[in-house]
Amino acid sequence: MKIIIDAMGGDNAPDEIIKGAVQAVQEFGVPVILVGDGTSLLEHMRSMGYANLPKGIEIAHASEVVEMTDEGSAVLRTKKDSSLVVGLKLLKAGEGDAFVSAGNTGALLVCSTLMIGRVRGIKRAAITAVLPTAKGRCVLIDSGANVETTPSLLLQFAYMGSFYAEHVLEISNPTVGLLNNGTEETKGPPVQKEAYALLREAARSATLNFIGNIEARDVPAGGADVVAADGFSGNILMKAMEGTAYMLTGMLKSMFVKNIFTKLSALALRGSLAEFKSRLDYKEVGGAPLLGIAKPVLKAHGSSDARAVRSAVNQAIKYAEADISSLIAGNIGLMAAEK
């Protein structure tokens, strides 16, 4: 097992990427290939106190960097030697088992689709967010890759998310809800209504644990283990949940620092507060897999620090071990896309 990491992608690259990679190698015992400008990476490592290349770390040279403003479809032609493209080439060549990048999401999605390809029969890959809920975690698919969807795409998303929830997050027989503006079967635009019918049929054939429509307000409570959504609605839901989490933790902090008594209370609750914070922290999750791509590719948060990178590598290892692509390929008959 070996994980390839884009060392130049993200707001805190390359220092936090390097730190996170070193932490991951030490904690999980899996070697890592850092992709980026070799000379620059070595200089950064020296300035961070590493006299030599840390154990378990390799460097693959890439002279260019994909900026956050670069257009996804142009990158493959204009930045062939970027850390993102070189990293995907290494994955395609079998030099590693998964690729992690905190860089340009659009470029990662387009380049993964064009270079690695989709599992045969999958019409579109989906960015799959793993979100905290009151019951643990839920999988939101799609969380932004496909603004427009079709009923068949939503069916594919539901199956892919379900496989991920079961085999990577280890949720037994995960429940699947269809994100909608109401729980009744008749709710939503035509795409959602048709998708509902397809998902219900899948439930009847006992291949998917579809529980019906789910409203956004029920997602944080753990109303479903997998939430199938079009990318537009999914992205809005994900950002609303992120923003709400920040708001709540900020408000709690303000309350606890109000006076000496509240500060003492916070001290007494220190352990529980730390656990609460950890459950809401994206850094503990790691990244968002691009489900439907034929090999494991994960998008780490753009602001990933070392902890988040370490978590992303952990998630990449589990994702690669679970061989989700083979599961999807083996069950593609259940989710045949329309033409």
Partner 1 sequence: MVFKKVAGMISEQFGVDVSTITMDTLFEEDLSADSLDIVELTMALEEEFEIGEMQDEDLTNLRSVGDIVNYIQTRLSDN
Position 334 contacts partner 1 (CB under 8 A): no
* Contacting range for partner 1; rule: CB under 8 A; set: 23-31, 107-115, 170-178, 205-213: 107-115
Confirm if 208 and 162 have CB atoms less than 8 A apart: yes
**Helices 15-28 + 306-322 axis angle, to 10:** 50
One of 110, 141, 227, 228 touching partner 1 (CB under 8 A):
110
Smaller CB separation from partner 1, 217 or 339: 339
Which pair of structure tokens corresponds to residue 12? 């805190």
Confirm if 56 and 24 have CB atoms less than 8 A apart: no
Smaller CB separation from partner 1, 82 or 180: 82
* Contacting range for partner 1; rule: CB under 8 A; set: 12-20, 50-58, 108-116, 192-200: 108-116
What does the alpha-carbon distance between residue 290 and residue 114 come to, in Å, rounded to a whole number? 13
Q: Give the residue among 328, 337, 308, 17 at the shortest CA–CA distance from 198.
A: 337
How many of the chain's residues bind partner 1 (CB under 8 A)? Answer: 10
* Contacting range for partner 1; rule: CB under 8 A; set: 110-118, 225-233, 242-250, 318-326: 110-118
Dihedral pair phi/psi, residue 43, rounded to 5°:
-65, -45
Smaller CB separation from partner 1, 235 or 304: 235
Position 23 contacts partner 1 (CB under 8 A): no
One of 101, 105, 113, 156 touching partner 1 (CB under 8 A):
113
* Contacting range for partner 1; rule: CB under 8 A; set: 45-53, 106-114, 270-278, 279-287: 106-114
Q: Give the residue among 32, 57, 23, 31 at the shortest CA–CA distance from 42.
A: 57
The SS3 call for residue 289 is strand
Confirm if 214 and 185 have CB atoms less than 8 A apart: no
Instruction: Give the bridge partners for 175, in sequence order.
Output: 209
Smaller CB separation from partner 1, 206 or 338: 338
Q: How far is CA 305 from CA 16, 32, 113, 279, in A?
A: 5, 17, 27, 17
Secondary structure tally for the chain: helices H, strands E: 13, 11
Confirm if 146 and 322 have CB atoms less than 8 A apart: no
Smaller CB separation from partner 1, 77 or 217: 77
Q: How far is the CB of 157 from partner 1 (least distance, A)?
A: 17
Site of tokens 């269809």: 178
* Contacting range for partner 1; rule: CB under 8 A; set: 2-10, 13-21, 70-78, 286-294: 70-78
Considering only residues 274 to 313 of the shown chain, the ones binding partner 1 according to CB under 8 A are none
* Contacting range for partner 1; rule: CB under 8 A; set: 15-23, 69-77, 214-222, 268-276: 69-77
One of 240, 252, 273, 337 touching partner 1 (CB under 8 A):
337
Smaller CB separation from partner 1, 110 or 176: 110
Position 121 contacts partner 1 (CB under 8 A): yes
Position 333 contacts partner 1 (CB under 8 A): no
The SS3 call for residue 292 is coil
- β-strand 136-141 against 126-133: which pairing, if any? antiparallel
Considering only residues 126 to 165 of the shown chain, the ones binding partner 1 according to CB under 8 A are none
What does the alpha-carbon distance between residue 10 and residue 84 come to, in Å, rounded to a whole number? 11
Smaller CB separation from partner 1, 105 or 175: 105
One of 114, 236, 252, 273 touching partner 1 (CB under 8 A):
114
Q: How far is the CB of 70 from partner 1 (least distance, A)?
A: 15
Angle ∠(6,10,11) on CA atoms, nearest 5: 145
DSSP letter (8 states) at residue 82: B
Position 73 contacts partner 1 (CB under 8 A): yes
Interacting residues toward partner 1 by CB under 8 A: 73, 76-77, 110, 113-114, 121, 337-339
